[in-house]
Chain A
């Protein structure tokens, strides 16, 4: 377990450095790092204002997706769960789309993430009202999440459908693909408190999720408060996913694939999988963000497109391998 931690942490550090190195402004490792600390003319601006926030967002959002994916899978005891399941990311996206369509986003730069956060909050209120805090009722939680996702998706389509402005439409479509390009420290500052709260809520759930391996009755008899566990998973996921979607758009597959990939290395125990997935998610998102910059530097390949493009076949491969292992 210590080895897994060391490997993942090293990977995250290397990829974070790589994310700082890659970009149109060609600079060596030493020069870049010096610029990050404020020495070296124009490169300082590039490092501090462009690459550093991009790397930090990649780290934060990747870790969020990995952690919340592992927490949801552990809570629902279902490896198919992913952070998008409870409808927060699609409602945050709807908020952002409305901000773009109404011109609010153009008038005031932070209108987009703020609208997205407001819609994420609204969604979590509806979700908790619908699915309640009743212990043991995971099915209602999933169904309520699907209903919220479907409604938000339909409303997003409606906005696109009725949009009189083709520029806004194309901006919406591109925004929905998810990207870390051109984000600033303001975006980092906006997302950080919500993500911090989400991490606080979810990071300590390991033992409860481990106990839940035996089912809800046995877990409760071992001292797990099921109502509190449910609230922490739902609100924690809403915080990190809402904030992530607000600043970077919808980035799929990381929250689903990373816990899957790492589960065998933690002995299939949902508790240790939490931190492993957080590190793994950060590594995977940083790698994907480096990849979009390296493979098609001139075409602005969207991060969400790449994660889905690589994630989906990879997921198929995992299913194939698991199927063979089970047979």
Chain B
């Protein structure tokens, strides 16, 4: 069983090819990090997989009707928009719209999502007046409240302090451990190395590598895709990854 099946997906925008023939599956229990340099097309790949932009090839999510897709996958875009000064609780409750809203199960999902993202103290605050990191956590909680088998998020940890970066990654890891699937785009390779069960490396207009972190974050691939060297070691405290220098 797979939660997302992408087959030979190719996207060209305004005559420029972004990537071609990308194929991968995501199964329950997987916590997948999508990595790649700026402009590699990580956001475009996720939006195409969801069917939000046109693409050649197949994606199991894009084939669903809009309402079925909304119950299969939650999507947190990179642009953290909150258009109106609603409370954090009302913001998180928006995640229940695809399910109808207003039922006891909806309330339970909202409470659980607020709890998971440690937002209980902020829930009556106005979302637009929170700091950027707090807003990001509220928007992650919104996506969690959607309670979909697959969760997709674009740079969800950007702008969070270290403690919240780690705890957010742990929330995603817990979801995966409980049988959901998670697909995140990430720039922080250290977080990716420590928490993800699998990495997808998008570079050079294609999927350059797909596998567990230690198989993807190799000196060769890092040099090709990111033009960097890095220190990557297995320690008693788990894997440690630190970028070191730029290869010119």
Contact = CB atoms under 8 A, between A and B. Distances in A.
A187 B98 CA distance: 41
A61 interface: no
Which of B76, B94, B98, B142: most chain A Cβ within 10 A?
A: B94
Contacts of B82: 213-214
Contacts of B139: 214
Contacts of B87: 267
Interface in B66-97: 66-67, 69-70, 73-77, 79, 81-87, 90-91, 94-95, 97
A34 interface: no
A217 B47 contact: yes
A218 B86 contact: no
A224 B67 CA distance: 8
Interface residues of B, number: 30
A319 to B, nearest CB: 15
B86 A267 contact: yes
A285 interface: no
B10 interface: no
Contact of B86 (A207, A213, A217): A213
Given A211-B97, A213-B83, A213-B84, A221 B90 contact: no
B50 interface: yes
Contacts of B97: 207, 210-211, 222-223
A211 B93 CA distance: 10
Interface string A217-231: 110111111000000
A221 B74 contact: yes
A268 B128 CA distance: 11
A77 interface: yes
B59 interface: no
Nearest to A215: B81
Interface in A30-59: none
Q: Which 3 A-B pairs have the closest CB atoms?
A: A215-B81, A221-B75, A223-B70
Interface of A: 77, 207, 210-215, 217-218, 220-225, 263, 267-270
Interface of B: 47, 50, 52, 66-67, 69-70, 73-77, 79, 81-87, 90-91, 94-95, 97-98, 101, 139, 142, 146
